[in-house]
Amino acid sequence: MVKLIDIAKKLGLSLTTVSRALNDYEEVSSKTKELVRQTAKEMGYVPNKFAQNLALKKSHLISLLYDDYQETISYQSFTFEVIAGVRNYFGRTPYDLIIVPGNLKSETREPLKNICYSRGIEGLFVVGIRTNDPYIEELKKDFIPAVIVDYPLITKKVTYIQSDNLMGCKLAVDYLVSRGHSRIAFINGHDLAAVSPLRLDGYKTALKENGISFDEDIVKVGNYTEKSGYDAVRQLLKEKADFSAVFAASDLMAVGAIKAIKEKGLKVPEDVAVVGFDDVFFAEYSHPSLTTIRQHKFDLGYMGAKELHEIIENPEKPLRSRKIDVELIIRESA
Amino acid sequence: MVKLIDIAKKLGLSLTTVSRALNDYEEVSSKTKELVRQTAKEMGYVPNKFAQNLALKKSHLISLLYDDYQETISYQSFTFEVIAGVRNYFGRTPYDLIIVPGNLKSETREPLKNICYSRGIEGLFVVGIRTNDPYIEELKKDFIPAVIVDYPLITKKVTYIQSDNLMGCKLAVDYLVSRGHSRIAFINGHDLAAVSPLRLDGYKTALKENGISFDEDIVKVGNYTEKSGYDAVRQLLKEKADFSAVFAASDLMAVGAIKAIKEKGLKVPEDVAVVGFDDVFFAEYSHPSLTTIRQHKFDLGYMGAKELHEIIENPEKPLRSRKIDVELIIRESA
DNA sequence: CTGAAAGCGCTTACAG
DNA sequence: CTGAAAGCGCTTACAG
């Protein structure tokens, strides 16, 4: 491995000058700069980041915190795309992404603080963490800049980003109402996802705005899986609940709902209209294709990463949370 | 941040002794060790890894190389689960995972070598890379220990791991034959996935072993998406091809195939049996539920990571590739 | 069993 | 515009 001193020797310059030339200091003549750069390139010089980090007390390392143990494909896909956005943003900066080690549910895990301090982590990007995850408590201690997807927490160094869930629910309900529906069942997800209460809120608010009264008999709680959507609608049908449309808080549950409706010999959307939430990859291919609320997952990651970058660069900036627009995608199911 | 010297001062010991105590050197008395450890804990000491790395010339950093830009949900899910396995394995070691920065297709990316050298990366775990990805060429230069999922490359420092694709195809074909099928159509994926030719091979071999002759009229190539499976079967039906079963090289294509078959008014599995490959999350919930070849994605990651760890620790070890067992999952579609 | 000192490869305040 | 030297926080060969 060639190092600064090797370049210096070869050029008969001091180490100091070489370092400064490579870091584009003003004091170095452009002639020297050019010479040093050229030589560095020829010799295949690559800076040693440990040494830089140690000297600068700056790691250019962002840590990614997410959960491996939620196995629904839409959770995986959501997380994957959010991370793609994060990676894409930081790919344009000197920052690299490091993954916090495997968080096995059962084992005691090392405090976040230690992990961050030992690797000199400068910021944390958190996605797909459940509301009961112990890391949340650690984040509240506010020891490091962090951006969290979907969990509402704002402190001096921590903020969050999420899709505009209220707007999403409003778009869905408004659309169904515009299609003549007034009995709109709602299948929500469990409260381990911080978005669930928001979506329930959004549903209620949208009903009210349309002059429709809330009826808890047509609201069910699933767990974001296809099966739970299926079960919820079977239950509704069994109870002979009065509804002509279903709004599900995830596409997976919407697909389950459709399955239950079809099994009963009813048609989607003729007998019962169905709207999902997320716009995952298969929404387009399910049968009938899904009308749904699209979340811009990549943007959540990209914009969240940008926000995190700003917090790091400008620690005094007062933080505010951020919402990413959602979009009503009209297909066949409603 | 408390450092070694702070502990030393507090205890009236030398920095050397403190370092040795914390690193469990034999020469330090167990009394001193205990004292130092206790004090370190009380003071909230966390070792600075940059400094350690610099002194030891060891980073304990593994880099993860994967592609963001393939948008099928099963690619994302596959990659996600493989990475979960990698993370889980290395979570038990001192190694952390770092993600190589966003590889935008169009932009020139930094040579892998530079990235690795500058961060002192000790090994590379590669997953979901297409056969035409430029990184492949760099890996062939053999400058760093690496384990690749699904791309067959063995050098002095690089090896690969994959599911037993041949066995998978054999299981699928044998099963269909045992159910009385002899006209088994095959929908393969494109050659940008290194597994595609293997699966074609496996299909041919299995046919031969069952005394069935290969007929290229009932072999189609898709691109691993649902739509391509759908299109392939529509094409077969349009050509009035003679087949009573479809074996698809991915579950997504199998789902597409089923859709096309149903649209034609045929029943699955009564008129046409369908077998997929992967066993992704939704295979169980599709209608009819999918008979398929399960890949153990987590194990691919976990065992691949283990292999990588061994290569790093023991550089002289001659490398061999590794296969992970697959499993026939029988459900309704065949 | 313990310590003083050199070294890992950088950056930068200080001096010229 | 350039350089000698100190420092970032560790580890470890050498000496005792």
Q: What is the pLDDT of residues B103-116, one digit of tens each?
A: 555 566 788 899 99
Distance CA B251, CA A106 (A): 32
Residue A55 has what pLDDT? Answer: 93
Q: Mean pLDDT across the stretch A144-162?
A: 96
CATH number of A4-47: 1.10.260.40
Q: What stretch(es) of chain A map to CATH 1.10.260.40?
A: 4-47
**Distance in Å, residue B200 CA to nucleotide D9 C1':** 56
Is A71 a residue whose pLDDT tops 80? no
Report CA-CA distances (Å) from A12 to A6, A41, B17, B214: 10, 17, 40, 71
Interface test with B, best of A3, A56, A70, A119 (most B CBs within 10 A): A119
Number of H helices, E strands in chain A: 12, 12
Residue B37 has what pLDDT? Answer: 93
The CATH fold of domain A61-162+297-323: Rossmann fold (3.40.50)
- Listed as ranges, the nucleotides of chain C within 7 A of a protein C-beta are 1-5, 7-13
With bands split at pLDDT 50, 70 and 90, how would you rate the model's confidence at A5? very high
Residue B280 has what pLDDT? Answer: 87
The distance of A278 to chain B (nearest Cα, Å) reads 13
Do A322 and A154 meet the contact criterion of CB atoms below 8 Å apart? no
Is A281 a residue whose pLDDT tops 90? no
Do A124 and A65 meet the contact criterion of CB atoms below 8 Å apart? yes
The distance of B77 to chain A (nearest Cα, Å) reads 6
The DSSP 8-state label assigned to residue B318 in this structure reads P
Query: Which residues 3-42 on A are within 7 A of strand C at the CB atom?
Result: 3-5, 15-16, 19-20, 22-23
Sign of the CA dihedral B134, B280, A165, B83?
negative
The closest of A231, A168, A178 to A201, measured between CA atoms, is: A168
Q: Interior CA angle at A314 toward A313 and A320, to 5°?
A: 115
Residue A107 has what pLDDT? Answer: 61
With bands split at pLDDT 50, 70 and 90, how would you rate the model's confidence at B7? very high
**Higher-pLDDT residue of B243, B68:** B243
Is B289 a residue whose pLDDT tops 80? yes
The distance of A92 to chain B (nearest Cα, Å) reads 8
Distance CA A289, CA A268 (A): 10
Is A123 a residue whose pLDDT tops 90? yes
With bands split at pLDDT 50, 70 and 90, how would you rate the model's confidence at A148? very high
Straight-line distance from the first to the last Cα atom of chain B, in angstroms, rounded to the nearest whole number: 62
B6 residue type, one letter: D
Is B220 a residue whose pLDDT tops 80? yes
The DSSP 8-state label assigned to residue B316 in this structure reads T
Residue A110 has what pLDDT? Answer: 81
Superfamily the domain B165-295 falls into: Response regulator (3.40.50.2300)
**Neighbouring residues of A121: CB distance < 8 A, sequence distance ≥ 6:** A59, A61, A62, A63, A98, A115, A144
CATH number of B61-163+297-324: 3.40.50.2300
Of chain A, the percentage scoring pLDDT greater than 90 comes to: 81
Q: Mean pLDDT across the stretch A9-26?
A: 92
Q: What stretch(es) of chain B map to CATH 3.40.50.2300?
A: 61-163+297-324, 165-295
The closest of B109, B51, B301 to A99, measured between CA atoms, is: B301
The closest of A215, A53, A36, A188 to A121, measured between CA atoms, is: A53
Residue B286 has what pLDDT? Answer: 81
Distance CA A321, CA A327 (A): 20
